Structure formats: C-alpha cells, structure tokens
Amino acid sequence: MKHYNWVLAVKNDLVAIEKKRLRAEVLALRRALSKTAIACESEHITRQICTWAYYRAARTVMLFVSMPDEVDMEQLIWHALRSGKIVCIPYLSERYGDMEAARISGLNELVAGRLGIREPKKEEAMLVPPDSLDLIIVPGVAYDFAGRRCGMGAGYYDRFLRRARNAVWAGVALQCQLVSKVPCDEHDYAVQYVISSKEIRKCGEGKM
C-alpha cells in the first residue's frame, strides 16, 4: 500500500507539472489575442449554443461571467434570460475551492467578488441546487476532444460537477485553447461536449 501511494503521489506531481506548463502556454496564447478576435470567435460560439438542442431544451442553465480574455458569455446570458430560462452563474463559497450556482436576472446586479469575478451580492444570492441544473457551460484554460479540461488550478469546477450529475456539461474554448491532450489525474472530471467556433463536439463522459 505504501508503494502504491508513493507511485500515485509521483504520478500526481508529474500531472501537476504538466498542467502548469500547459496552463502557462495556453494562457499566453489566449492573452495575445485581440479583442476583435475573441469577439468574433465568441459570436460564433454563442450562435452554435443558441441553436443546440440541449440548450434549447434546458430549463435551468449555468453559465459564467467571462474574464476579458475568455470566451464572451454576455450575449448568451442575455439570450437565456430573454428565453425564459433560469440562469445561474458561479458563486464562490467562503471555503476556498468550493462554489455554488446562484440565480441571476441580469448582469447589472453583479459586483466584484473573490478573485475579481463578478457575482451576486452576498445578501442577495439565490442559490440553486446543483442537481436541478440541466446544462452547465464550463470555462477552462485548455480542452482536448476527450473532454479533458485544464482549469486555473483551484478545482472549483471539479468539486462542483460531481454534485451536478443531472446536467449536461459542455466546455467552451477559443481555437487556441484546443490541444491534443490535457494531462489529468483521478480528481479531474471531463465534460461531455466541447464547443468551439467551428463545432460542437461530443466527447468522453464523467470522471477520467
């Protein structure tokens, strides 16, 4: 057992090193993109999602408020609200690494929260049970077409997705964020679909 634990620890350390390298490499590419390029890809991604059967059928969706160099979700958020869907975004818990889904009725009600990410005011947050979500659009630093995801490293989505088993999980990515293989370990969860400006690709499901 001690030998197994040692081997597992070494493997996890190597995966962490590879993820760190990949994260730095892809973030550099993403941050070098112009606002125009990001806006163009984001528009194509939004159009694909708006006509996607899973999105159209979903009653309760979890989206995210984008950072400046991420796929822009603003138009999709407004589309979902106008379509009468229950729209949620991440709400970071007091405990580092944990988050909840908070319902919103617009973007103007949001304030800067932990890590500088916009979210509802603490006293106004309306939390939605993760198992009631139909569709979750997941951000990431890098994706491959097996659905493996490299995030920012805090594990928020890995912890959250295990509580949202009834939802379809779909990652969104700019072209520079698509790689041949994302290193993963036993704690990582894969998305079921990866959505880029070119296609919606079905991939692996569940825990890798």
Per-residue pLDDT at 6: 41
Q: Answer yes or no: is 208 within a domain.
A: no
Q: Answer yes or no: is 150 within a domain.
A: yes
Q: Answer yes or no: is 31 within a domain.
A: yes
pLDDT digits (tens, 9 = 90+) for 132-158: 999 999 999 999 999 999 999 888 999
Q: Answer yes or no: is 29 within a domain.
A: yes
Instruction: Please state the rounded mean pLDDT for residues 48-62.
Output: 98
Q: What's the domain range around 63?
A: 2-202
- Which is nearest to 148 in space by CA: 163, 138, 135, 156? 138
Q: 117: part of which helix (H) or strand (E)?
A: none
Instruction: Answer yes or no: is pLDDT of 7 > 50.
Output: no
Instruction: Answer yes or no: is pLDDT of 186 > 90.
Output: no
Which CATH number do you get for residue 157? 3.40.50.10420
CB neighbourhood size of 38 (10 A): 18
**Is the pLDDT higher at 187 or at 65?**
65
Count of structural domains within the chain: 1
Instruction: Answer yes or no: is pLDDT of 2 > 60.
Output: no
CB 154 within 8 A of CB 95: no
Per-residue pLDDT at 11: 54
108 by Cβ neighbours in 10 Å (0-12 / 13-18 / 19+) ranks as: exposed
Quick one: tokens of 4?
């197994």
Instruction: Answer yes or no: is pLDDT of 207 > 60.
Output: no
CB neighbourhood size of 124 (10 A): 11
Instruction: Answer yes or no: is pLDDT of 204 > 70.
Output: no
Strand partners, 195: 172, 200
Listed range (43-57, 66-80, 111-125) with the worst mean pLDDT: 111-125
Q: How far apart are CA 168 and CA 120, in angstroms?
A: 24
pLDDT digits (tens, 9 = 90+) for 94-103: 888 899 999 9
Q: Answer yes or no: is 181 within a domain.
A: yes
Half-sphere exposure of 135 (CA within 13 A, CB side): 24
Position 8 confidence tier, pLDDT thresholds 50, 70, 90: very low
pTM recorded for the entire structure: 0.90
Q: Answer yes or no: is 207 within a domain.
A: no
